[in-house]
Amino acid sequence: MRNKTVDVVVRGFRSSLLLSCVVLLIVGGQLVNAAHANADTGGLVTLSGIVTDATGAPVPGTTVGFGGESTVTGADGSYVLNVPPNSSSPMSFSYDAAPAPFSSLSTLVEAPLTVGSQDVVEDFVWPAETAIQVSVTDADSNPVVGVTVNAPSNALVRETLSDGTTVIEVRASAGGGSQNCTTDSNGQCTVEGVVGSSPYITSSYQPPPGGSNYPSYSAGEGEVIAVNPLTGVADVTLQFSNMSIQESDGAVTGAVYVSSPTGTTVSNVSTTPIANNTLPSGATVLTGSLSYTVSGLTPGASIDVTLQLPPGSDPTAVFKYQNGSYVDLSSIATISGDTITLHLTDGGLGDADGVANGTIVDPVIPVLLNRPNAPTITQVSGGNGSASVAFTAPTMDGGSSILDYTATCVSSDGGVTGSATGSASPLMVTGLTNGDTYTCSVMARTVVGSSSPSTASSSFSLLTPQSITFSAPLTGTVGHYATLSATGGGSGSPVVFTTDATSGVGVCNVSGANGTTLKYTSVGNCVIDANQLGNTTYAPATTVIHSIKVGKAQLINFGDLSNKTLAQSPVSVHATASSGLTVTFTTTTPAVCTAGGTNGTSITLVGAGTCIVQANQLGNATYNPAPPVNQSFKVSKASQTINFGDLSNKTLAQSSVSVHATASSGLTVTFTSTTPTVCTASGTSGATITLVAAGTCTVQASQLGNATYNPAPPVYQSFKVLKH
């Protein structure tokens, strides 16, 4: 049994075929070729046909399937299936353990075939097996020996069934391999066992050391220039793309091949030895200085020039020597294995004369850059689950810039190993295990690769961290004492208090057990340190520093305030401090009173209630803030009275009568009649009295007050109303 594959391209149509498993896809068409339904099949429809090979010979033993039904072709290649009418299902053909040319073919119609109410006849032809003869020449039509020609798997062949309408795609399934051959001395070879014609061919070529005038060759550089699409043998000619090729003279370590595109010419290819110690640090010369000339360009044009180095060279960089120094050409070079492709522009970076004149002349130096030396660790500091690793750069970078550094810390106790990468020292390695012992190392990385690890650091332990909670007063008073206290971490060691070096001289001192007694001795800044020692498990706690402002004491003298009415607003307040500093005032009852004016000495009364005024003196560099002093007073509404004069008697004929009264508050007085059968009040504020009958008219004057004044006591005046 054989597995053979070919890829085929004809005018943009690409197909692949694997002879061990071929798939058929019906593209379209309903197949109805019989004239009547078969009444002898119990109402079923007959699906029948003949299976042949490409020569027309019947192929017995082919399994044909439709829906859940299947049958095997007889000696004449015929098959008959009884299927339900008006049904639709994929259809399959398969042929296992077959002699050539079929080699275990199988197919599947992926799109459903629809059967109507009449019998259907459908014939199928297996495609032929083909051998492809391939010829390979160079640009001058000379045969090329040793080219590997490949017909890839997954071939695709299109067939039309016997109805003349339904198109089937014969497709290889997964599992096949490529068919290939290698050209002989005539530049020819034959790819056997390909199904169909119209092949798709790729090729590759690697010159033997010193044995060829051609550079490495890949499928992308080959051209299919002749295809015979006839059934049977398909002849294909592959031709190298037209390349100007010249081998270098005087190569230091082997032959170098230089090639340029169609229409240009390479000449004057040579190499000159260069000592390694003249190159950038860490670079090893591969070919010496490689010179060449490419002519025939359009002035200013851009081209690719290929340098094929001896096998195993594996260059990592390209330099040029210019004006006494080396210039890195990495920005215009693509390096793959032993091949360097220079992307050049006439008159540009890769052209030594710097002139757009249609000729590129340039010596280049392919090199192998070495890995950098290892960095040197200078200090490692352990922290809370972390380590800070400081280091110096390698003494030799290998000829290329350091991209980054990686620090790695390894636990000798089986704990977590951590690493960190960055561009400079120090690197912080996190995620380590507290309580474990670690050593760290650093590596440097360039485009060539990473250095060896540095010499490992001395071992160090990551102790469990502990912390101190220390609360101290913000201020202290000269001559007074304070007791210091703090809560320490898990080591169990006591927290010890000391005066910090930055504390003012003679401002404070500590005494007693662990320095817990603090005395303030003079004005200034008292700075206290709280420390706790560690042990074999816990690291010493980080020092907690607390500053205390020490000053002299002062008191505020703020006398009592008398009750006020709202009408007496604003009220001025005054207080003095023993320090002689200015006292400021605020109120704590803004709904009743507010403080304003200079230093808040003007108290505005805004509502009835208790007004609380607070006197403050915040201190200065010498005096501490004074204890605030509060004074309060009652705020009430003001009283008011009404002045309403006597009224003279009137006759009914004198109606209407105007009345007038005033309030001591200045608020408007309103009038009402308490004898509406004799007189009524109306008009503005009721000041117009209308006489309606003889009798005694009594008028009431009222003022109801406001936010500042209470209501005034009402005043009454009466007069006689006569008929005439």
Per-residue pLDDT tens over the stretch 653-687: 999 999 999 999 999 999 999 999 999 999 999 99
What is the rounded distance in angstroms from the CA atom of residue 65 to the CA atom of residue 42? 20
How far is 345 from 13, CA to CA, in rounded Å? Answer: 37
Give the per-residue pLDDT at 237.
Answer: 59
Looking at residue 276, its pLDDT comes to 65
pLDDT of residue 253: 46
3-state secondary structure 372-399: CCCCEEEEEEECCCEEEEEEECCCCCCC
Query: What is d(CA 384, CA 461) in angstroms, rounded to the nearest whole number?
Result: 11
Percent of the chain surpassing pLDDT 90:
45
Does the pLDDT at position 463 exceed 70?
yes
Q: Nearest 5°: CA angle at 654, between 652 and 659?
A: 110
Q: For residue 423, count other CB atoms closer than 10 A to its CB.
A: 9
Q: Is the entire prediction scored with pTM above 0.85?
A: no
The band of 413, judged by pLDDT with boundaries at 50, 70 and 90, is confident
Q: How many CA atoms lie within 13 A of 648 on its CB side?
A: 4
User: pLDDT value at position 61?
Assistant: 86
Question: Per-residue pLDDT for 622 more than 60?
Answer: yes
Name, in order, each residue with C-beta under 8 angstroms of 14's C-beta and a sequence gap of 6 or more. Answer: 7, 8, 156, 200
Q: Which two tokens stand for residue 615?
A: 């006197």
State how far the Cα of 525 lies from the Cα of 534, in Å rounded to an integer.
Answer: 29
Res. 387: pLDDT tops 70: yes
- Residue 262 C-beta-side C-alpha neighbours within 13 Å: 7
Residues facing 344 on adjacent strands: 303
184 vs 178: CA distance, rounded Å: 19
For range 508-532, the mean pLDDT: 96
223 or 201: which leads in pLDDT: 201
- How far apart CA 518 and CA 497 sit, in angstroms, is 9
Dihedral angle of Cα 16, 18, 21, 24, to the nearest 10 degrees: 30
Q: What per-residue confidence (pLDDT) applies to 159? A: 58
* Residue range 152-184, pLDDT digits in tens: 543 455 556 665 655 555 544 333 445 678 888
Strands 179-182 and 148-151: antiparallel
Q: Which of 322-326, 383-387, 509-513, 548-552 has the weakest average pLDDT?
A: 322-326
Mean residue pLDDT across the chain:
79
Q: What is the mean pLDDT of residues 694-698?
A: 96
Tell me if residue 332 falls in helix, strand or coil. Answer: helix
For residue 444, pLDDT over 60 is answered with yes
Q: Where residue 364 falls among pLDDT bands split at 50, 70, 90?
A: confident
Other Cβ atoms closer than 10 A to 611: 28
pLDDT for the residue numbered 305: 87
pLDDT reported for residue 158: 57
Question: Which pLDDT value is given to residue 249?
Answer: 47
| Backbone dihedral angles phi then psi of residue 39, each to the nearest 5 degrees | -75, -15
| Residue 138 vs residue 262, higher pLDDT | 262
Distance of CA 34 to the CA centre of its chain: 66
pLDDT for residue 273 is more than 70: yes
Which residues, other chains included, contact 211 with Cβ-Cβ below 8 Å and sequence gap of 6+?
none
Q: 108 to each of 89, 95, 105, 314, 616, how far by Cα in Å?
A: 11, 12, 11, 49, 99
One-letter identity of residue 603:
I
Alpha-carbon span 652 to 463, nearest angstrom? 112
User: Does 173 or 533 have the greater pLDDT score?
Assistant: 533
pLDDT (0 to 100) of residue 140: 56
pLDDT recorded at residue 242: 37
Query: Quick one: pLDDT band at residue 17, thresholds 50, 70, 90?
Result: very low
**Please, which pLDDT band fits residue 148 given cuts at 50, 70 and 90?**
confident
As a whole number, mean pLDDT of residues 405-418 equals 89
Buried b / exposed e along 685-705 (16+ C-beta atoms within 10 A): bbbbbebbeeeebbbbbbbeb
User: Pick the residue with more confidence: 339 or 645?
Assistant: 645
Which one is predicted more confidently, 404 or 241?
404
Q: What is the mean pLDDT of residues 251-273?
A: 70
The reported pLDDT for the residue numbered 104 is 46
Band of pLDDT at residue 370, cut at 50, 70 and 90: confident
Q: Which pLDDT belongs to residue 107?
A: 57
Q: What angle do CA 80, 81, 84 make, to 5 degrees?
A: 145
Does the structure show a pLDDT above 80 at 359? yes
Residue type, 439: T
- As a whole number, mean pLDDT of residues 5-9 equals 24
* Short-list 659, 660, 663, CA closest to 642: 663
What dihedral do alpha carbons 204, 210, 211, 215 form, nearest 10°?
30
List, in order, residues 6 or more apart from 190 with CB less than 8 Å away: 131, 132, 133, 134, 181
Phi–psi pair at 331, nearest 5 degrees: -70, -20
Q: What is the mean pLDDT of residues 525-550?
A: 92
Task: Report pLDDT for 321.
Answer: 79
Alpha-carbon distance of 443 to 440, in angstroms, equals: 11
* pLDDT range class, residue 100, cuts 50, 70, 90: very low
| C-beta of residue 132 within 8 angstroms of C-beta of residue 233 | yes
Q: Which of 63-72, 151-160, 460-469, 552-561 has the lowest mean pLDDT?
A: 151-160
Which letter does DSSP use for residue 654 in this model?
G
Work out the percent of the chain whose per-residue pLDDT is above 70.
77
Mean pLDDT of 26-38: 32
Per the CB < 8 A criterion, the answer to whether 558 and 627 are in contact is: no
Is 157 or 550 the better-scoring residue by pLDDT?
Answer: 550
Average pLDDT value for residue range 77-91? 89
Q: What is the pLDDT of residue 241?
A: 43
Closest CA to 714 of 639, 636, 644: 644
Q: How many CB atoms lie within 10 A of CB 458?
A: 9
Cα separation, 632 vs 614, whole angstroms: 9
Q: Which residues pair with 724 in a beta bridge?
A: none
Of 260, 267, 375, 372, residue with least CA distance to 316: 372
